[in-house]
């Protein structure tokens, strides 16, 4: 079983940079917590890298990033909040709230 760091490196592979400025994009703590819980439970083993990247992309959307559709195999890329265009923010708004709510006590 790979470490969470190894899985994140495989999943992101450069796709976590803003499509406009190339800078890092934020990801919510909720997204990181969700991915960490999946990893601890052994549930990331069945998730392909693109699926993991999509979970993190949703965490970026929830952090105020925009989404850009492109022709690359991944289909969706992220733009940081300061670079996001109105159309990218509109696309992101359609995906907002995509992460499951944290499990209660």
- pLDDT tens digit string along 37-80? 888 888 887 888 888 888 888 889 989 999 988 766 667 889 99
Average pLDDT over residues 23-36: 88
Q: How far is CA 6 from the centre of its chain?
A: 16
> What is the predicted pLDDT for the residue at 46?
80
Q: Does 103 have pLDDT greater than 70?
A: no
> What is the predicted pLDDT for the residue at 2?
72
Q: What is the DSSP string of 1-65?
A: ---HHHHHHHHHTTTTB-TTT--B----HHHHHHHHHHHHTTGGGGS-HHHHHHHHHHHHHHTT-
3 state DSSP class of 90: helix
Spatial separation of the C-alpha atoms in residues 34 and 31, rounded to whole Å: 5
């Amino acid at each position: 079983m790979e470490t969470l760091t190894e899985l994140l490196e495989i999943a992101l592979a450069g796709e976590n940079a803003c499509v406009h400025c190339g800078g890092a994009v934020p990801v919510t703590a909720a997204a990181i917590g969700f991915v960490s819980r999946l990893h601890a439970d052994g549930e990331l083993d069945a998730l392909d890298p693109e699926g993991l990247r999509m979970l993190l992309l949703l965490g970026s959307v929830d952090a105020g990033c925009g989404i850009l559709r492109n022709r690359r195999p991944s289909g969706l890329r992220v733009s940081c909040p300061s670079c996001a265009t109105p159309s990218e923010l509109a696309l992101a708004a359609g995906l907002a709230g995509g992460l499951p709510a944290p499990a209660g006590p």
